[in-house]
Amino acid sequence: MKTCREDDFFQLKSVGQSRMSPKKISGFSWAVFFFGVIMTIASFSGLNPSDGQVSILLFFLISINLLFMIVQFLFTVFFTSKKMAYKFQRLQMVFLSSIAVKFSLDTYQAFLGVSEGFNSPMYIKISALLFFIGGILFLILSTFRGIKRVKIGELRKEGNGLYNFQNSKGYVSIPFIFGLSMFGGLAGRYSSELANDATVFILLIFSVLIQFATALALPEIFLLMYCKFRFESFKVKIPK
């Protein structure tokens, strides 16, 4: 990345001035915060499980999450100020990267809480863990792919862009094949039991979809953050 020039990130500059402008990021931050609040409230059901045994892991995750959400709220309020959002754009991008990653994982906490509340069988929780790990690996793959596309010039003015899904069918199909295989295996092996855990199963599907979809979008955020730190021209001027 050090050998890349500013021209190699040309297409990201327009992104930073439009849908990822400081003002748009502020609005997105509030949406992500309230989404996290809803997921956290949903996870509280696990603190009063049907068998009376509270999961230490869930209690720990909720405690850490509540602390993080306090910090998240303070930064969200801070960047609601137009002046602060434009003045501290680099810090705002670090904040955006953090909450975007958190957003991709928030539903797993809700899933764990609901599954504990319903005393769901262990195979569902193990499946969720496998999906979670798979999503992390896919995020790493997506990030390295984004860096590679920068290096080969795909983000230059004449390039095909960061995604170019038409010529990236193999890459895009990875999460779908993985997800369908896993869910197909679950449905085939535990079809009778899944009927009793439909709510938890649907929440798991929702969690997986959000994590993998966000993993596709995060590399763009990471790269724009990199550009904000490296190139002064990527800092957007405050509108008059």
Mean pLDDT of 97-124: 88
- List pLDDT tens digits, range 132-189: 998 999 999 999 989 998 998 889 888 888 876 555 555 556 666 666 666 565 555 5
User: What was the pLDDT predicted at 3?
Assistant: 79
Query: pTM of the entire structure?
Result: 0.85
Given a contact cutoff of 8 angstroms between Cβ atoms, the answer to whether 15 and 82 are in contact is: no
Question: 2 or 76: whose pLDDT is higher?
Answer: 76
| Residues whose CB falls within 8 Å of the CB of residue 87, separated by 6 or more in sequence, listed in order | 238
Question: 95 or 131: whose pLDDT is higher?
Answer: 95
Given a contact cutoff of 8 angstroms between Cβ atoms, the answer to whether 79 and 85 are in contact is: yes
- What span, in angstroms and rounded, lies between the C-alpha atoms of 71 and 88? 17
Residue 1 has pLDDT above 80, yes or no: no
User: What was the pLDDT predicted at 202?
Assistant: 84
Mean pLDDT of 5-19: 89
How confident is residue 214, by pLDDT bands cut at 50, 70 and 90?
A: very high
How confident is residue 86, by pLDDT bands cut at 50, 70 and 90?
A: very high
- Distances in Å between the Cα of 240 and the Cα atoms of 8, 83, 237 are 29, 11, 9
